[in-house]
Each structure stands twice: as C-alpha cells, then as structure tokens.
C-alpha cells in the first residue's frame, strides 16, 4: 500500500507539473522595455561616466534595453567596450552592432537583455550622413517563446530622405520576421513625420503621456524623437509609458514602457 501511494503521488505530481507548464504557455508575459540614447556615457557635465549610465538603467529595472550612441574600444571613451561593460555591471546579456570604425574603435548601438540572446542580426540600412544599421536580437523569454527585439538609430540631418529610406529598408526586414517584435530607438524624427507614419503602419505604438512626451534634450525637453513600437498589435498590450526625468547622464531622456506579450491565438 505504501509503494502504491508513492507511485500515485508521483503520477499526481507529474500531472500537476505538466498542467502548470501548459497553463504557463497560455499566460501573458510582462516586459519592461527601455530605449535610451546614452551618448557614449557623456553627460551634460561633459564627463564620460559609464557607471552613472549603468545606475540610471539599473534603477529602472528593465528586461530589454535598446541603446544608441555606444562606443566599442574608442579612445574618446577610454577604450572601453561599453556594451560589454554595461552588461557586466547590470548582469545582463549584451549584443553590439557597429555603424563604423571610429577613434581607434567602433561606434554604433547595442541591446541588453535579462534573458538569453539566441541570435543577433545586423540589418544594413541606406547610408545617410553616417552609415547606419539596425540590430535585431532574438531573445528567449522564460516561457520559451522567442521575441525579436530591434534597436535603431536613424539619420539626424534635417532632410528626411535618409530616414525615410532607412525606415523603408527596416520595415522590409521586419515584415519577414516570424516572431513577435519590439522596435525601439532614436528615430530622429517627430510624431507627425513621414518616417513615423511609415514605421507605425501595422504596428502598435507605446504612446507617451500627452503632457510629458518630449525625449530630447534631457535638460530642456522640447521634441519627441525616441519611440517604442510592437508588431503584430494583436500580441501586445501597453500598460505604462514613462519618459524619465534624468537631466545629466545623457542628452536624451530614457523612455520606459511596461508591455504585455499575449499568447498566440
């Protein structure tokens, strides 16, 4: 009788475990998503302080971070691999995508993730005032689903033809993805621009509070150029969006969103 009871207990335990796993597959996944142009750690006090940048990010406790203006081993930033160093300081996985060689190293953008990065893809975009790429990383979430997290930094010159061309190229790549995706970055264009109209098509935007939507500059906010978007819209809910008051660590304000990824139907 005792052996039978043990066997029965094991069967119940295994069945319960399997049921829990199945239930988990049908649950939403909450994600804290951050976009931040860190200006290579150069603050408004004209000091390069990557530890200060890390402290800003740590306080916001994000799961996924898209970083723009990141140096890798450039002399101007002390020869530091900034993506790797931030990943080390924050205990996060990291990936870096260079735009170009610069000052003895490279300059570009990066992603940090609490969850394992399964794959990184660099998408070459049309060259504008400077070379540009987008970084697409496939992240494995705790429930096992893969989500694509995309970091961008479009051209900055006044004429929008380069940004529109870059947005077109990136959208073509995104339309080929088989995974749900989140797109974050410094779009260098405003909410009523052709660039944003193009990027919004077929995507859900994490809309900022109407009375606090400016992301640049950090000490005198006056324009909205940093955004977070998701696709397909049916897979996501936006629970909160906040433009963070941080006037010193960079010339951009961090943009944070709480997002839920819903189960596939």
- 171: pLDDT strictly greater than 80: yes
Tokens of 56: 């800003």
- pLDDT, one tens digit per residue, over 225-244 is 999 999 999 999 999 999 99
Average pLDDT over residues 131-138: 98
Q: Which two tokens stand for residue 149?
A: 């997290």
Per-residue CA distances from 119 to 125, 147, 223, 259 (Å): 19, 11, 34, 22
User: How many CB atoms are located within 10 Å of the residue 236 CB?
Assistant: 23
- What are residue 38's phi and psi, to 5 degrees? -90, -5
Structure tokens at 85: 């160093």
Token pair 């940048």: residue:
53
**206 three-state secondary structure:** coil
Cβ burial of 147 (10 Å; 0-12, 13-18, 19+) is buried
How is residue 151 written in tokens? 């970091």
Domain ranges of the chain: 29-261
Look at residue 2 in the predicted model and tell me its pLDDT: 38
Question: How big is the CA angle at 187 (ends 256 and 82), to the nearest 5 degrees?
Answer: 65
Residue 253 φ/ψ, nearest 5 degrees:
-90, 140
Q: Is the pLDDT of residue 24 over 70?
A: no
Given the DSSP bridges, would you call strands 117-125 and 29-37 parallel, antiparallel or unpaired? unpaired
pLDDT of residue 18: 29
In this predicted model, what pLDDT tens digit does every residue of 200-222 receive, in sequence order?
A: 999 999 999 999 999 999 999 99
Residue 167, pLDDT score: 98
What confidence score (pLDDT) does residue 26 get? Answer: 66
Q: With pLDDT > 90 as the criterion, what percentage of the chain qualifies?
A: 89
Q: Which residues contact 114 (CB under 8 A, 6 or more apart)?
A: 62, 63, 64, 92, 93
- Which two three-digit tokens encode residue 46? 């004209």
Q: How confident is the model at residue 65 (pLDDT cuts 50, 70, 90)?
A: very high
Q: Any idea how long the chain is? A: 265
Burial class from Cβ neighbours inside 10 Å (0-12, 13-18, 19+) for residue 242 reads middle
What residue spans of the chain are helical by DSSP H? 2-25, 50-60, 82-90, 161-175, 194-200
Q: Which of these CATH numbers, 3.60.10.10, 3.40.640.10, 3.10.20.600, 3.60.21.10, describes 29-261? A: 3.60.10.10
| 144-152: average pLDDT | 98
């Amino acid at each position: 009788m005792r052996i039978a009871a043990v066997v029965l207990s094991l069967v119940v335990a295994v069945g319960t475990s399997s049921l829990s796993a199945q239930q988990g597959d049908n649950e939403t996944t909450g994600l804290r998503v951050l976009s931040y142009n860190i200006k290579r750690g150069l603050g408004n006090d004209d000091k390069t302080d990557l530890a200060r940048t890390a402290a800003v990010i740590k306080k916001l406790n994000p799961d996924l971070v898209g970083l723009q203006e990141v140096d890798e081993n450039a002399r101007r930033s002390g020869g530091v691999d900034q993506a790797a160093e931030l990943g080390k300081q924050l205990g996060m996985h990291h990936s870096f995508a260079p735009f170009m060689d610069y000052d003895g190293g490279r300059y570009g953008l990066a992603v940090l993730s609490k969850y394992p990065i399964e794959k990184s893809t660099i998408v070459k975009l049309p060259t504008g005032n400077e070379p540009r790429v987008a970084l697409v990383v496939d992240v494995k979430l705790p429930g096992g689903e893969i989500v694509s997290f995309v970091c961008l930094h479009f051209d900055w010159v006044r004429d929008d033809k380069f940004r529109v061309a870059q947005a077109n190229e990136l959208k073509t790549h995104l339309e080929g993805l088989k995974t749900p995706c989140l797109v974050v970055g410094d779009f260098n264009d405003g909410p009523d621009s052709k660039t944003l109209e193009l990027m919004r098509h077929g995507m859900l935007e994490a809309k900022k509070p109407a009375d606090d939507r400016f992301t640049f500059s950090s000490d005198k906010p006056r324009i909205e150029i940093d955004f977070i978007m998701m696709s397909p819209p049916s897979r996501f809910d936006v629970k909160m969006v906040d433009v963070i008051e941080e006037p010193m660590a960079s010339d951009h304000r961090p943009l944070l969103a709480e997002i839920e990824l819903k189960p596939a139907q």
